[in-house]
Amino acid sequence: MHIKEVYSLVKNGLDGVNEQFKMLASHQGDGFPELQRMLSHILSGRGKAVRPLLALHSGSLYRCDQQKIIFMATASELMHIATLVHDDAIDKADVRRGQETINKIWGTDKAIIFGDYLFAKAAEYAVATGSLRVVGLFSKTLGAISYGELKQGFSAFNLEQSYEQYIKRITGKTASLFALSTEGGAILGSAPEEYIKILSEYGLNLGISFQIVDDIFDYIGTEEEMGKPVGSDLAQGTVTLPTLMLMERYPNDNPVKRIFENEGDKAKSIEEAIDMVRRSDIVDRCYRVASDYSEKAARNLQLLPDTPNRRALYTMAEYVIKRKK
């Protein structure tokens, strides 16, 4: 299946999510033009809608109440956006997806509260699914995300990290929300328990693969493709898979070490580290790890009935590796 079909197959659902976002931006800001502007700004700059796609396809494999799945998809995407707003505030990032961040325009303080507001709206949509089990998943997932982010914060600029710790961290930070989207969709789509479990694991493996590829992009992408500066992870002291491999390969005189120990010209060291990764086989090796996870995700799917939605999920598992941004 072509990636375009992955979108067109759930066009109604995606339109439904966009409809909710439009309503949110226009109604919630009543008599509060600044809030309206913040909502319009953040909801207009949306990305690839990966989490809504996951919820919509996972929810459509069986019988489903389309409106509930749309609420679920809207909730996952809002939760994702809320975490990005806080991430950017913490990283003091100026640009995201090619447009200015909330903290850049309105300052860190407003970004903190606006993020909280988006969490609240995500929770309201989760409640609108009518499923306490789904809401429970949402709260556990927010716990896992913030636990992962907190771990990342406390382990920043610390190179004493194992591959295992890295995988655990990105599982919390990224994959947990992927798993929430597929598992929540499956629950609302009345999938049998064994299939809910399969879809949850699919989401988890896909999410890990997705984050590894994102971490590779931080080395090999261009600012234009990514909508943010290259080498951001290095600058913020976030240890990623390519960084771990680079340290393993050159344990002694390594630009990463200089960056983390605040020695010498930081920008120059970042450039050097990027160059070293690009000229080595590290990118290939990272892609192999990412592929292992996405293949595992795809394999899980074979146990589900063969429907167009299953094929779409399969395509997503392939695409996560092939994508250019």
Residues in touch with a second copy (CB under 8 A): 32, 34-35, 83, 86, 89-90, 108-110, 112-117, 119-121, 123-124, 126-127, 130-132, 135-136, 138-140, 142-143, 145-147, 149-151, 153-154
C-beta closer to a second copy: residue 86 or 258: 86
State the nearest-atom distance from the C-beta of 35 to a second copy, in Å.
6
State the nearest-atom distance from the C-beta of 145 to a second copy, in Å.
8
State the nearest-atom distance from the C-beta of 33 to a second copy, in Å.
9
C-beta closer to a second copy: residue 51 or 310: 51
C-beta closer to a second copy: residue 145 or 304: 145
State the nearest-atom distance from the C-beta of 76 to a second copy, in Å.
15
C-beta closer to a second copy: residue 3 or 127: 127
State the nearest-atom distance from the C-beta of 138 to a second copy, in Å.
7
State the nearest-atom distance from the C-beta of 159 to a second copy, in Å.
18
HEC sequence for the chain: CCHHHHHHCCHHHHHHHHHHHHHHHHHCCCCCHHHHHHHHHHHHCCCCCHHHHHHHHHHCCCCCCHHHHHHHHHHHHHHHHHHHHHHHHHHCCCEECCEECHHHHHCHHHHHHHHHHHHHHHHHHHHHCCCHHHHHHHHHHHHHHHHHHHHHHHCCCCCCCCHHHHHHHHHHHHHHHHHHHHHHHHHHCCCCHHHHHHHHHHHHHHHHHHHHHHHHHHHHCCHHHHCCCCCHHHHHCCCCHHHHHHHHHCCCCCHHHHHHCCCCCHHHHHHHHHHHHHHCCHHHHHHHHHHHHHHHHHHHHCCCCCCHHHHHHHHHHHHHHHCCC
C-beta closer to a second copy: residue 239 or 246: 239
C-beta closer to a second copy: residue 29 or 308: 29
